[in-house]
Chain A
Amino acid sequence: MSSIGRNLRTDYLQANEVFHRPYQQVLIVFVIIIAALIPAVSSNFFVHLLNLSFLAAIGALGLMLLTGFCGQISLGHAAFLAIGGFTTVILIVHVGAPFIVVVPASALSGALLGFIVGLPSLRFRGVYLAISTLAMHYAIIFLATFYQTKFGQAATAGIPIPDPTIGPFTLSGDREWYYLLLVLLALLTAGCVNLVRTRPGRAWMAIRDRDIAAETFGVNLARYKLLAFVVSSSLASMSGSLLAYYSNVVTVEKYTLDLAVIYVAMVIVGGMGSILGALLGALFITLLPFGIDALFDYLPREWRFGSTLFGVQVGAVGVCIIVFLLFEPKGLAEIWRRAETYFDRWPFRYRPLESARR
């Protein structure tokens, strides 16, 4: 009859399944096929945008694990990206290491840094932790600036990075990059999905919901908090390294506090505590400025002059953060979930109580 009964989860193993609904496998295969076909039919620019979103999504996955699952708020994500970028620079300029070595090495250096940045989390919670990551951000960016002014060639233009080569291939065009990033993102997403439904993920969620209670249930707080920081920052660092290769330049000006906030925005807009949310949020926030740019085509031409467009692009991110936090705190992932539930229960409807609607 109706599908309600089929989708109710009645035991722990069911709750732990990756696919809760019969059509999810089909849907994922479908999405992957579409994604693989996109470069064949769309413009270079659109592929470029998708590449940027994929890069952002890798970083956003990292922040989602840390903030969305472990509940540790971090305003230092840009610093993790910077570490990836600057590890890449150092390895290329001073060592001459190849792409295949540099990216994992960046992830590793990110992990090390994540460990250090995570140390305050053993002592602080909440607001104070957020401030300590803020301080860490400035400290790391300061070191990076120091490096760039001392060793970089032209301090303002940044340090150039050559196109990466894997064996005989050189990755230069957007389309080649697209497939590399798509595969990488798919693998990392699968990894994250599995991570959060196994022991570390459950420990993180326990810490997020109530750290003291988690500790009494035998979760080693120090270990799992640090693990969250390490995993998060190594993902971000990998994303930073790839971004450095992709954009062929590393400059400290890119890694501002605003960038960290943009990543926070991705996590919020996507929906705290959802891997799908990290992907959706990254896509949404990356495409947002370009969408606004496109909207400006319909407005009077004078509005484009000066810095109005840039200002609106910046402000839109802030508005997104506020609006989602106030009106849709679980983000795009929750909208998706509601749609799913709606179709599951059709033709019956789920009516939230008065207070839930607010």
Chain B
Amino acid sequence: MAETLLEVRQLEVVYNRVATAIQGVSLTVAAGAVVALVGTNGAGKTTTLRAISGFLPSEDAEITDGDIEFEGRRINGEPPYRLARSGVILVPEREKVFATLSVSENLAFAAQEDGAITLDRVFSYFPRLGERRNQLAGLLSGGEKQMLAIGMGLLCRPRLLLIDELSLGLAPIAITELMQRLQEICRELRLTVLLVEQNAYAALAIADFGYIMESGRVVFDGPASELLAHPDVREFYLGGCTQTETKSYRDVKQYRRKRRWWG
């Protein structure tokens, strides 16, 4: 396996000093890999992401235990702009573009002077952005906003790109298209990506490795292809399309109990 870029060990995050959102989450992201972090609502995916990108203080949350290491350096509690400069770039869930700036201003905002990627390169990845470069970003469609957000992320010289809910609010066809484009870009630029998704199928389809979270813990992990084939994952995250027999509630309970033991 390639060298480890990001390592999260036994992370625990508490909101408002009372509510524990995640407990004992450990993740490893290898350089050059696309890793998917999948889970349902409230599983703790976004919290994990916020902890990595240093956004917890503004939410009145804090890391109460565990370490986050980026390139072997402990980055717990570093301010976001410092992290962003060292290459940990977050594409957030919503409000991901500056609505009152134009498309090219949005991109210029992010661009690093000596960055390898230029505005034109982003426009070549997403031709639709090029057509609308002088429009206000607030007027773009959801998919275009997502493209713009990824473009902004790329211009920040990312060493690790954290993408929160790429599929949120997009049409299924747009998701597939965007995911494929992302995969192409990652291959071309040899990017490391941590993809946080509810849409398990779309995320695992392009990922190399996957983690599945539930109730603040990681319950499954493994290469994406294995996860895609795993019967429990198929049933609970991918719609269980191959399962012909109907399951009773007791089976589901059985699964939940099992999962609790793993967590």
| Shortest distance from the beta carbon of A329 to any chain B beta carbon, whole Å | 13
The answer, yes or no, to whether A2 is at the interface (CB within 8 Å) is no
Stretch at the interface among B57-65, B92-100, B198-206: B57-65
* A/B interface sample: 11 pairs, CB < 8 A: A352-B17, A353-B14, A353-B17, A353-B62, A353-B64, A354-B62, A355-B17, A355-B57, A355-B60, A355-B62, A356-B17
In the complex, A354→B63 CA distance in Å?
Answer: 10
Chain A residues contacting B60 (CB-CB under 8 Å) are: 355
Name the CB-closest residue of B to A354. Answer: B62
Tally of contacts, chain A with chain B, CB under 8 A? 11
| Shortest distance from the beta carbon of A353 to any chain B beta carbon, whole Å | 5
| Shortest distance from the beta carbon of B236 to any chain A beta carbon, whole Å | 33
Q: Which 9 A-B pairs have the closest CB atoms?
A: A355-B62, A353-B17, A356-B17, A353-B62, A354-B62, A355-B57, A355-B60, A353-B64, A352-B17
In the complex, A353→B56 CA distance in Å?
Answer: 14
Interface band, chain B: under 10
Contact with A along B1-39 (1 / 0, CB 8 A): 000000000000010010000000000000000000000
In the complex, A192→B254 CA distance in Å?
Answer: 55
Residues of B within 8 A of A (CB): 14, 17, 57, 60, 62, 64
| Shortest distance from the beta carbon of A30 to any chain B beta carbon, whole Å | 34
Name the CB-closest residue of B to A353. Answer: B17
In the complex, A346→B19 CA distance in Å?
Answer: 25
**A316-358: which have CB < 8 Å to B?**
352-356
Chain A residues contacting B57 (CB-CB under 8 Å) are: 355
| Shortest distance from the beta carbon of B109 to any chain A beta carbon, whole Å | 27
Interface centre among A352, A354, A355, A356 (most CB of B within 10 A): A355
In the complex, A354→B64 CA distance in Å?
Answer: 9
Name the CB-closest residue of A to B57. Answer: A355
Name the CB-closest residue of A to B17. Answer: A353
| Shortest distance from the beta carbon of A8 to any chain B beta carbon, whole Å | 15
In the complex, A52→B57 CA distance in Å?
Answer: 43
In the complex, A151→B14 CA distance in Å?
Answer: 65
In the complex, A353→B14 CA distance in Å?
Answer: 10
Name the CB-closest residue of A to B14. Answer: A353
In the complex, A352→B18 CA distance in Å?
Answer: 11
Name the CB-closest residue of B to A356. Answer: B17
Chain A residues contacting B17 (CB-CB under 8 Å) are: 352-353, 355-356
Not counting A353-B17, A355-B17, A355-B60, a sample of 8 additional A-B residue pairs whose C-beta atoms are within 8 angstroms of each other reads A352-B17, A353-B14, A353-B62, A353-B64, A354-B62, A355-B57, A355-B62, A356-B17
In the complex, A352→B57 CA distance in Å?
Answer: 15
In the complex, A143→B64 CA distance in Å?
Answer: 58
In the complex, A212→B62 CA distance in Å?
Answer: 28
Chain B residues contacting A353 (CB-CB under 8 Å) are: 14, 17, 62, 64
| Shortest distance from the beta carbon of B19 to any chain A beta carbon, whole Å | 12
Chain B residues contacting A355 (CB-CB under 8 Å) are: 17, 57, 60, 62
Chain A residues contacting B14 (CB-CB under 8 Å) are: 353
| Shortest distance from the beta carbon of B50 to any chain A beta carbon, whole Å | 14
In the complex, A355→B62 CA distance in Å?
Answer: 7
Chain B residues contacting A352 (CB-CB under 8 Å) are: 17
| Shortest distance from the beta carbon of A6 to any chain B beta carbon, whole Å | 22
In the complex, A355→B60 CA distance in Å?
Answer: 8
| Shortest distance from the beta carbon of B225 to any chain A beta carbon, whole Å | 41
In the complex, A354→B77 CA distance in Å?
Answer: 12
Name the CB-closest residue of A to B56. Answer: A355
| Shortest distance from the beta carbon of A133 to any chain B beta carbon, whole Å | 30
Chain B residues contacting A356 (CB-CB under 8 Å) are: 17
| Shortest distance from the beta carbon of A74 to any chain B beta carbon, whole Å | 28
Chain A residues contacting B64 (CB-CB under 8 Å) are: 353
Name the CB-closest residue of A to B64. Answer: A353
| Shortest distance from the beta carbon of B62 to any chain A beta carbon, whole Å | 5
Name the CB-closest residue of B to A355. Answer: B62
In the complex, A353→B20 CA distance in Å?
Answer: 13
In the complex, A203→B158 CA distance in Å?
Answer: 49
| Shortest distance from the beta carbon of A290 to any chain B beta carbon, whole Å | 39
| Shortest distance from the beta carbon of B142 to any chain A beta carbon, whole Å | 24
In the complex, A355→B14 CA distance in Å?
Answer: 11
Chain B residues contacting A354 (CB-CB under 8 Å) are: 62
In the complex, A353→B64 CA distance in Å?
Answer: 9
| Shortest distance from the beta carbon of B5 to any chain A beta carbon, whole Å | 28
In the complex, A355→B16 CA distance in Å?
Answer: 9
Name the CB-closest residue of B to A358. Answer: B57
| Shortest distance from the beta carbon of B64 to any chain A beta carbon, whole Å | 7
In the complex, A19→B201 CA distance in Å?
Answer: 57
In the complex, A353→B15 CA distance in Å?
Answer: 11
Name the CB-closest residue of A to B61. Answer: A355
In the complex, A310→B17 CA distance in Å?
Answer: 44
In the complex, A313→B134 CA distance in Å?
Answer: 56
In the complex, A353→B57 CA distance in Å?
Answer: 12
Contact with B along A171-191 (1 / 0, CB 8 A): 000000000000000000000
In the complex, A354→B57 CA distance in Å?
Answer: 11
In the complex, A355→B61 CA distance in Å?
Answer: 8
Name the CB-closest residue of A to B62. Answer: A355
